């Protein structure tokens, strides 16, 4: 798996993600919206192919589609407090951006996810999507 992910990441180019506003998956998730998510969805699709073909992951264990976002609150937000929290974010303005130049393999320690390994993308110039 490590070698396949290293090879995959080395073939990817860094890209910029633009953020724009907030969204929610009621009744417990609040997130930051990704303005144009084609680059993230493309990365997901290419990685999915590697997982299915090179690493032989079972088809049903890998999501076909992805809804790129940055989660702000989920399991730590109770259903009762969701409405109050969402009222504070729903109409709030937010913009930002960041460069994606690697992917991470995470390992669960029994309580939360730890970074196990980072796989850097090609050092080629980044592109904006």
Q: List the pLDDT tens digit at each of the 129 positions of the chain.
A: 899 999 999 999 999 999 999 999 999 999 999 998 899 999 999 998 888 877 777 666 666 778 899 999 987 888 889 999 999 999 999 999 999 999 999 999 999 899 999 999 997 544 444
Q: What is the pTM of this model?
A: 0.81
128: tokens are: 């904006």
48 is in which domain, residue-wise? Answer: 2-128
Are 78 and 47 spatial neighbours (Cβ–Cβ below 8 Å)? no
CATH code of residue 111: 3.90.1140.10
User: How many domains does the structure of the chain reveal?
Assistant: 1
Where would I find the beta strands (DSSP E) of the chain? 15-25, 29-34, 69-73, 95-100, 102-108, 113-120, 127-128
């Amino acid at each position: 798996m490590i070698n396949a992910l290293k090879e995959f990441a080395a073939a990817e180019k860094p890209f910029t993600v633009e953020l724009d506003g907030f969204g929610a998956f009621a009744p417990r998730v609040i997130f930051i919206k990704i303005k144009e998510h084609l680059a993230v969805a493309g990365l997901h699709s290419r990685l999915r192919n590697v997982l299915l073909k090179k690493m032989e992951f079972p088809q049903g264990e890998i999501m076909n589609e992805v809804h790129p976002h940055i989660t702000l609150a989920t399991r730590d937000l109770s259903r009762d407090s969701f409405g109050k929290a969402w009222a504070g974010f729903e109409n709030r303005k937010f913009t930002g951006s960041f460069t994606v130049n690697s992917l991470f393999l995470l390992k669960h320690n029994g309580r939360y996810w730890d970074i196990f390994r980072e796989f850097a993308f090609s050092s080629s110039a980044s592109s904006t999507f």
